[in-house]
Amino acid sequence: MNSNNPQKLRAVLFDVDGTLADTERDGHRPAFNAAFKESGLNWHWDVELYGQLLQVTGGKERLHYFIEKHKPSIPKGLDINNLVPALHQAKTKHYVSMLQLGKIPLRPGVARLLQQLRNEKIIIAIATTTTPENVTALLRSTLGEDAPDWFDIIGAGDIVPEKKPAPDIYHWVLEQLGLPGHQCIAVEDSENGLKSARAANIPTLITVNDYTIQHNFEGASLVLSDLGEPAQPFTVQAGIKPEKGWVDVGMLRNLLNEKP
């Protein structure tokens, strides 16, 4: 297949946190805080501190990093190796409840683009560090009960040894799909996500959010405020300004064809 063949685009691989939805500040963060409180800990992650902690992907890994770096008080007799998984389990329960209550909407353009990709029979998949049940709860609460089945593969959480920025999760998803990276596009929101996708040779579209707008997105195909809607166009942060103000399948195909 040559690079001008529109069929070159075989699959779009979506990150979840920060990309499908703004889950971090008002989702994962308060869920962690609820878990701390429930466990009798006086820890609290405010918006700014959480922004710093986000450099470490994965909730359990983030907890370990916080304990090592910030040395919060830990009640005597508590073993960190038991505490971290217990806190993470409690946090997941709080987070999933928030999703089930419909508290976290999808970002602009996400539902529209997913629908168009399905209509055009382009494979959609997920590549995320978050816990699998967080992904299915988000998809169900925003797109309907059957939405997880729309995705050929959902690559999530501890299924691979190293989380982003390592390419493991993208390699795993590509292997499951039987596709090379250059026939896919990754949609990401962060520098860690971009590094992960690019290390798996996948051209990457970035939609930024408040926590990631200052990240280094060198190597991205295009950096946008969001996926945009006809009534609410995106703004371009970096890259060649597309003709339209909303991402559609034609634009994704163009993006891929610009990459060798």
Instruction: Give yes or no: 15 in active site.
Output: yes
CA separation for the pair 21, 145 (Å, rounded): 17
Q: Does 191 bind Mg ion (CB under 5 A)?
A: no
Binding mask 10-29 for Mg ion (x = CB under 5 A): -----x-xx-----------
Selected from 13, 20, 35, 59, the binder of ligand XBP by CB under 6 A is 59
Q: Shortest distance, CB of residue 205 to ligand XBP, whole angstroms?
A: 14
Q: Shortest distance, CB of residue 10 to ligand XBP, whole angstroms?
A: 22
Q: Shortest distance, CB of residue 34 to Mg ion, whole angstroms?
A: 21
Q: Does 17 bind ligand XBP (CB under 6 A)?
A: yes
Closest residue by Cα to residue 124 from 162, 166, 155:
155
Q: Does 33 bind ligand XBP (CB under 6 A)?
A: no
248 binds, among ligand XBP, Mg ion, none (CB under 5 to 8 A by kind): none
Query: 124 has which bridge partners?
Result: 12
Selected from 108, 109, 193, 245, the binder of ligand XBP by CB under 6 A is 193
**Residue with the shortest CB distance to Mg ion:** 18
Q: Does 15 bind ligand XBP (CB under 6 A)?
A: yes
Q: CA of 211: how far to CAs of 22, 48, 54, 73, 80, in Å?
A: 10, 9, 8, 27, 28
192 binds, among Mg ion, ligand XBP, none (CB under 5 to 8 A by kind): ligand XBP
- Interface of this chain with ligand XBP, residues 123 to 182, rule: CB under 6 A: 128-131, 134, 164
Nearer to ligand XBP (CB atom), residue 58 or residue 242: 58
Among the listed residues 15, 22, 189, 248, the single catalytic one is 15
**Which of 52-60, 104-112, 206-214, 226-234 is the region at the interface with ligand XBP (rule: CB under 6 A)?**
52-60
Q: CA of 233: how far to CAs of 117, 159, 189, 207, 227, in Å?
A: 19, 36, 18, 13, 8
CA separation for the pair 146, 43 (Å, rounded): 38
Instruction: Give yes or no: 226 in active site.
Output: no
What are the residues binding Mg ion (CB under 5 A)? 15, 17-18, 189-190, 193
What are the residues binding ligand XBP (CB under 6 A)? 15-18, 24, 28, 57-59, 128-131, 134, 164, 190, 192-193
